[in-house]
Amino acid sequence: MTPEQTTIEALRRWSQILLWVSVLLPILGAVAVGARYYVEQRASQLAAHITESAIQRAKEDATAARTDLADLKEKTAPRLLAATQRTAMLPMIAHLKGLPIAFACRMMDGESCDFATELAAFFLSAGCQVPEPIKTSLNDLPGYLAITARGKVDPDVPNKLLAVFVAAGIPARVETVNENSIGAWYNDAVHVVVGRKAR
């Protein structure tokens, strides 16, 4: 083969290669565009899914935080007589009108003493004989009231008093309280000893 023929043959091959390249390049470009579109779509879907998951987690965290806050408020809030409790107690207190009922609270426990004072004021306004609350109790009584009699007291009164608190949903028990656990007792009276708030 002459040098001219070799050159022509080489040019023909390069021409065919360039022809194939010119045909393949647009196809590769189209494949690249399709691949890029697919990758972008998939990335967009993944980003949307991650964002949605993050929003859902944030909502769940916020709900849990609100629940925790409500629980904390309930645990730390002082006890107060609700209007519904007062309404439930009033008809029952009618059986105790005119009787001496004393209230005592834990020494140096503001929450317990505030609740005892509120109960005392309510019973006084309902017609019971209620002396000044005793603030020297050493009794713990976690979350409930102890009802105990001192001196000459009608034996039915402690149970009638218990029924008043049960009607209001206030935990209470009729029980003997150690005489030395309170600095001073009122004579011939039923005592309601308010314990600390349950945790």
pLDDT of residue 47: 79
Structure tokens at 164: 């008043």
pLDDT of residue 81: 96
DSSP of the chain: --HHHHHHHHHHHHHHHHHHHHHHHHHHHHHHHHHHHHHHHHHHHHHHHHHHHHHHHHHHHHHHHHHHHHHHHHHHSPP---HHHHHHHHHHHGGGTT-BEEEEEETT-HHHHHHHHHHHHHHHHTT-B--PPEEEE----TT-EEEEEESS--TTHHHHHHHHHHHTT--EEE----GGGBS---TTEEEEEE-PPP-
pLDDT of residue 199: 80
- Tens place of pLDDT for every residue, the chain, 199 residues? 677 777 777 777 777 777 776 776 777 777 767 778 777 888 788 877 888 887 888 788 777 878 777 676 767 789 999 999 999 999 999 999 999 999 999 999 999 999 999 999 999 999 999 999 999 999 999 999 999 999 999 999 999 999 999 999 999 999 999 999 999 999 999 999 999 998 8
Note whether 101 and 145 are within 8 A (CB): no
Instruction: Give residue 186's region: left, alpha or beta (phi > 0; psi -120 to 50).
Output: beta
